[in-house]
Structure 1
Amino acid sequence: MGKEFRYIGKPSPRIDGRAIVTGAAEYCNDVHMHNMLYGKIKMSPHPHAMITKIDVSKALEVPGVKTILTYENAFDWITGMPAQKRLLDRHVRFVGDPVALIAAASARAADEAAELIQVEYEVLPAVQDLDEAIADGAPQLYEQFPNNIISRGCPPFGPKALQDIVMGDTKKGFEECSVVVEGTSRYETISNPLPAESPGLVAWWDGPNNCTMKGSFQSPNIQKMIMQLGMPGVNVRVISCNVGGGFGSKNTVPMEGLYCAALAKACGRPVKLVISKEAHISTYMLRLGSRLKAKIGLLPDGTVHAYEGTWLVGSGVHSDFGQGQIANGLGRAMLLLNKCKHWNYQPHLVATNRCRSGGIRGFGGQESYASLIPILSMAMAKMNLDPVDFFKKNMCDINGGYYWVEGQWWENHFLSYNDVMDHAAEHFGWKEKFPGWLKPYKVVGSKQYGVGCCVHGSADCGMLHGEAFVKIDGWGTANINVCIAESGMGQRSSV
């Protein structure tokens, strides 16, 4: 006999819906504290320069200004994985790089002070293109990263984090293939899907080694981890407000968190820092750039047998989690080309003079697939293969094995994508609408109509960790303590 459930399988109202539509839900802009100051960032107008002189004397005379930090008096905090980006630096590396941080009694006073800070620069050559950045003689962003290639390794994913794929013998593999194609594909940096709410937070200190942050964080646990990497020895507590849309770019606000914490520590008072919409649009985090040069070999039945590729991944001015995103992209490539026996896939995370990159929905997976599949399509077209059949043949199926982001070998014993692909193709009418490569399935006047397809798979095992404490009382009520943030998808209602 089937059971009738109260909630499972039925629509239910959002538990926070009324609070959101009536304005009762708390967002970062609603957070106010006693004695709170307002932060402001003075930004570099140059993509690459050295500060030769900075004068804050006039700015300090503005009524309400409490402190101004520059590279001359800032805390020696460094963030990034690996550590690379200083809190404030004489060497500025992108348009928007902070040259001074201001805390004042009002946002207007902070704005006025920022305008009065006088900065003189020695402008340096800048580099934006990935190939140019790694070329000999290119402008260097960091001494520790020759040719602007950021060191490998992602400590949160463990000591074996996936950083390349080398398996089999590619020379032998290509000799065994019936078709070999080579090509370069670009999925260059695009802006993030900009949330309406600008990133922001309030920070305060309870003693010399305890900092609390409250703001618009999608992933408060990751924000805490990155903050503690940047402020060694400090215990950081992170509280998430409702997030007014995040789309990945507000998983964390790492640099803004450090700026706000530094001002709060220097002043001994809570500080609120919300970047302007202008700064959000022009200087905030972007998606990773991606440029792939690859050689791919196929057997007569359409199985990818050998793969050789160099993947340049554009990090921008520094990397928050770039090597982790690369690990994710490599793992997804192994899911897509799961029957491939011979690999030499070498990614390089490249620094350039533009604002930093971060996780923008997909965390490396979109960049990997969107660069790889155009080159695969060249091979499919050359062999006149049906893309749906190609993906079914090559995608990880039952009993397939692969390395995932933490560098461990996993085997799939229960899940097949093939039924899903068949179902989607049937409902779309794929067989009727795909007459072959570069052939329209219908022509109406001067217009030709064609179709295409792609597949996107994930296997998030061993990468993301969570925990919850659930207490059920005698009245049948469950109390759940869990670290989640509400960023628009109804997470709290779902839990």
Structure 2
Amino acid sequence: MTAIGKRVPLRDGASKAAGRVNYAGDVALPGLLHARLVLSPYPHAAIRAIDTSQARAVPGVVAVLTAEDLPDIVPTSRHRLLLARDRVIFAGQPVALVVAEDEATAQDAADLVFVDYDPLPAVVDPEAAMAPDAPLVWPEGIPGSDDETAAAHGADVGGEDVQPTRSNISNRVHFARGDAAQALAEAEVVVERTYTTSRVHQNYLEPQTVVARPEPEGITIWTSTQAPFFVQSEVADLLGMTESDVRVIPTPVGGGFGGKFLLFEPLVAFAAQKLRRPVRLKLTRMEELLATKPAPAARIHVQLGARRDGTITVLRAHLLFDSGCYPGTPVGVAAFLLGSYYQIPNVEIEGVEVLTFKASNDAYRAPGAPQATFAIESAMDELAQRLGVDAIELRLRHASATGDPTIRGRPWPRIGLRNVLEAIREHPLWQNREQARAEGRGVGVAVGGWPGGIEPAAATCLLQRDGTLTINVGSVDLTGSTTAFALIAAEVFDVPPEKIRIVTGDTLTAPYAGATGGSKITYTVGAAVLQAVEEAKQQVLAIAAEELEADPGDLELRDGAVHVRGVPGRSLSLAEIAGKTMRFGGRYAPVLGHGRTAITEQAPGFCAQLAEVSVDPDTGVVRVHRLVLAQDVGRAINPLLIEGQMMGGAVQGLGWALHEQIAYDENGQVLTASWMDYSVPRAPHVAEAIECILVEVPSEHGPFGARGVGEPPVVATAAAVANAIAHATGVRLSDLPMTPQRVWRALQGGDA
């Protein structure tokens, strides 16, 4: 390989570091108006009246929009809810939109909008929400599932159809094999615990921002989105336009992690269309934490049984996911992963999704996987301790391998679950864990995975007159995918990556690509790029064969030129070939390769992790000293960026483990609506050292065998840290985040 496997920096890294990248908030248009939201302070209330007179009287205010100014759309998903009509169902729900000549005026006027609320009973605990007498989030019947982002991530594994009833239960999943009840009764050693995880926000640096401009026919939207084609189709449907009338220009995304698919784009589009002027909405950090869509909280009860010889015989689990005000949690993929990591003969898993009076949820980096993995990997570690066996050996004895059945009964495709466990088993940190404990530190292990996303994609490859290649794609680059595409093209043409230009078009100019999420862009769009480049290469060789009067089989492409093997001096540069296709009277058509893929088989990725921690017994503060990550990447297209993904994912995993939670009081009020209250990992909280081990088990369909790498590194971190705390202190914590208060109480023998 001449390009694949090289450590190449992000193409736009220097520009981002220097502040030269223009984001959605930098879009400047003539006549641009600025919008601010008016949010509900109540989790549940009837809207008696909205008085906008004082706000409209403020100089510079152009309009104050309420639901009465918008079409009465059936709110089958959060982005169709637009503005509250008659009733609010979560604290932070938008009730009005103030539009003014500048942002400060819009905010001042928003503070003057008076809403007469009649507070209604609300329930924010999912177990309480299942009670027969609980107030219903949707008394008229539960709307359609808000699960498009879960499906786009590859997290859609199906579920039972919950018929519309007077209930807050919006989805159920059930998986089973063998006889779990009988096996549990016969098990000689049983671990039984309930694990909880908190609501966690994606906390991207750039707030959600949308700009919409009405056109003579249609509308143009600039937005910080991971899914431009999804935005296009939904906005077109809501505005009653054809998709070609809606142009979505994806701006560089300042972090998304699954939270920037679609939310306020339809609302801003409606405002721009109504006012016939461009409108921008840019959220504040408080609005982000109140009004967007975080990852759901979960309660998972696990029973794991084994014989004393170390054979695991049974797994039973019940998962309860808090969906907020709309259906669409990843309870299905959580149940699937919990029951599929290991080959256990008797399994019964039930998952339930429940509506509460909170903001609805969204995808967040491997949706559902961190919750499920925290539960099963904590239980596996405790079982190993009770059996007196090595925790990695117990996992390896039962770990699923290629061809083994998942809990759905279908065979796992080629996977590297066992490979990553074997990689960390040999690491000195694991081999010397007892010495570490003697020094006051604990070492924990966990493994987790992600099924991998799939979606059709296309790409084109054009040879330019100067000998460079222009690759046109429709996918949003979040974490260096365009850099990977350049390496793929450079490998095929044997040219430096600098000779490859990657262009991300908008929805009217680019070939289709799915949403950037689910660790699928390199796997799917990268495969289309490879196909397009290969086709372009064949066109180049065909032209060269005719010009050089040589058999195509005697030609080779290297160093930016086509050479005749064994005949020095007989060659044509790529620039010369392109020139023959781009001139008056030319005999050859331009070199333009097309790639189209519709991969239907997922390429799951797994990551095993070791965490070394110490715990201050007086304060409960957990200090993470080292993290070791071994991940199956299929084929490392760009090891530098893969390691960056692994490190970033693990740091977010530390957020799940030790810091992050959206807290509510008993009345449904958000207590953590700013970064003053919501703790995210900062530089001092990151592990002192993070080591990445790249394991390559090539996938069958990814370009050069590559797999997606973004999701797996976040999955196992919380469990590895919890197991390390147990190794250091002998105390097991089952609730995330493991804050100093919780750890200290556990050390004192209290409720963790």
Is TM > 0.5 for Structure 1 vs Structure 2? yes
The amino acid that maps onto 1:111 is: Q
Cα pair 1:167 1:341 within 8 Å, conserved: no
What's the secondary structure of 1:120's corresponding residue?
strand
Secondary structure at the residue paired with 2:300? strand
Q: How does 1:72-91 map to 2 (within 5 A)?
A: 72-79=68-75, 85=81, 87-91=83-87
Q: Within the alignment, does 1:248 sit opposite 2:253 as a pair?
A: no
Q: Give the counterpart letter for 2:12 in structure 1.
A: D
Q: State the AA in 1 paired with 2:320.
A: L
Within 5 A, what are the aligned runs for 1:285-364? 285-319=293-327, 322-323=328-329, 325-337=330-342, 339-364=343-368
Paired position in structure 1 for 2:29: 33
User: Cα–Cα, structure 1 residues 78 and 18, in superposed 2: closer, same or farther, change >3 Å?
Assistant: farther
Residue of structure 2 equivalent to 1:437: none
| Identical columns (%) | 25
TM-score, length of structure 1 as denominator length? 0.84
Single out whichever of 469-478 and 67-76 deviates more from structure 2: 469-478
Aligned to 1:455: 447
State the Cα deviation string for residues 108-160 of structure 1 (Å, max 9, x = none).
232222122111111122222221122222222112557xx9869869579x8
Aligned residue identity for 1:291: R
Q: Which residue of 1 aligns with 2:292?
A: 284
Contact kept, 8 Å, 2:339 with 2:349, in 1: the verdict is no
Partner residue, 2:741? none
Alignment-derived partner of residue 420 in structure 1? 420
Secondary structure at the counterpart of residue 369 of structure 1: helix
Q: Tell whether the 8 Å contact from 1:189 to 1:289 is kept in structure 2 after alignment.
A: yes
13 and 353 in structure 1: CA distance in 2 versus 1, 3 angstrom threshold: same
What is the rounded CA distance, in whole Å, between the counterparts of 2:465 and 2:183 in structure 1?
Answer: 64
Compared CA separation, residues 292 and 318, structure 1 to 2 (3 A): same
* CA spacing shift, 1:239–1:305, aligned 2, 3 Å: farther
**8 Å Cα contact 1:292/1:311 also seen in 2:** yes
For the residue of structure 1 that corresponds to 2:8, the secondary structure is coil
How far the C-alpha of 1:421 sits from its partner, in A, is: 1.4
Kept in 2, the 8 Å contact 1:67–1:104? The answer is yes
Q: Helix, strand or coil for the counterpart of 1:20?
A: helix
Question: Aligned partners of 1:128 and 1:234: how far apart in 2?
Answer: 40
**1-side partners of 2:427 and 2:239: how far apart?**
53
Compute the displacement of 1:469 (Å). 2.5
3-state secondary structure, aligned to 1:121: strand
Instruction: Give 2:392's aligned residue.
Output: 388
C-alpha distance in 1, partners of 2:438/2:176? 46
In structure 2, give the amino acid aligned to 1:110: A
Alpha-carbon distance in structure 2 between the residues aligned to 1:387 and 1:54? 60
- 1:494 Cα shift? 2.2
Please name the residue that 1:409 is paired with: 410
Q: Distance in 1 between matches of 2:353 and 2:235?
A: 22
How many Å separate the matches in 1 of 2:399 and 2:238? 40
The match for 1:166 is 175
Check conservation: 1:316, 1:357, Cα contact below 8 A. yes
Cα gap change, 1:422 to 1:285, in 2 (>3 Å):
same
Greater Cα offset, 130-139 or 21-30: 21-30
Alpha-carbon distance in structure 2 between the residues aligned to 1:317 and 1:224 = 25
2:79 and 2:56 map into 1 onto residues whose CA distance is: 32
2:437 is the counterpart of 1:442: yes
Q: C-alpha deviations, 1:424-479, integer Å up to 9, x for none?
A: 12214324315xxxxx95345xxx32221110122315x44433223345765332
Q: Which structure has the highest helix share of the two?
A: 2
Cα separation, 1, equivalents of 2:460 and 2:138: 44
Match of 1:201 among 195, 198, 210: 210
User: For 2:101 and 2:84, how far apart are their aligned partners in 1?
Assistant: 22
Structure 1: distance between partners of 2:80 and 2:138: 8
Query: For 1:12-67, what per-residue CA distance to the aligned partner results, in whole angstroms no more than 9, with x for missing partners?
Result: 34332443344432211110222221111111112221111111122222233222
Q: Residues 481 and 330 from structure 1, CA distance in 2 versus in 1: closer, same or farther, beyond 3 angstroms?
A: farther
Equivalent AA in structure 2 for residue 29 of structure 1: G
Q: State the alpha-carbon separation in 2 of the partners of residues 442 and 62 from structure 1.
A: 66
Residues 149-201 of structure 1: CA deviation (Å, up to 9, x unaligned): 9869869579x843224232333443554333332111122343x22221111
Q: Is the 8 A contact 2:145 2:326 kept in 1?
A: no
Cα offset, 1:356, TM superposition: 2.7
Judged with a 3 Å threshold, the aligned counterparts in structure 2 of structure 1 residues 304 and 264 are, in CA distance, closer, same or farther, namely farther
Query: What TM-score do you get using the length of structure 2 for normalisation?
Result: 0.57
Aligned to 2:134: 138
* Matched letter for residue 193 of structure 2: G
Which residue does 1:93 correspond to in 2? 89
Kindly name which structure, 1 or 2, has the bigger radius of gyration based on alpha carbons: 2
Report the alpha carbon displacement of residue 367 of structure 1 after superposing the two structures with TM.
1.7
Q: Superposition pairs for residues 116-195 of structure 1, below 5 Å?
A: 116-144=112-140, 156=151, 161-163=157-159, 164-168=173-177, 169-175=179-185, 177-192=187-202, 194-195=203-204
Correspondences of 1:471-486 after superposition (within 5 Å):
471-472=462-463, 476-486=467-477
Say whether 1:261 aligns with 2:256.
no
| CA displacement 1:200-251 (0-9 Å, x = unmatched) | 110133367x44321211333444455457556652432211112233333x
Match of 1:430 in 2: 430
The answer to whether structure 1 residue 490 and structure 2 residue 494 are counterparts is: no
In structure 2, do the counterparts of structure 1 residues 465 and 294 end up closer, same or farther at CA, with 3 Å as the change threshold?
A: farther
Q: Distance in 1 between matches of 2:47 and 2:174?
A: 42
SS of residue in 2 equivalent to 1:402 = coil
The one of the two structures with greater contact order (alpha-carbon pairs below 8 A, sep at least 6) is 1
1:467 alignment partner in structure 2 = 458
Shift in Å, 1:401: 2.5
Contact 1:42 1:114 in 2 (8 A): yes
Distance in 2, matches of 1:310 and 1:237, equals 44
- The Cα RMSD (Å) is 3.2
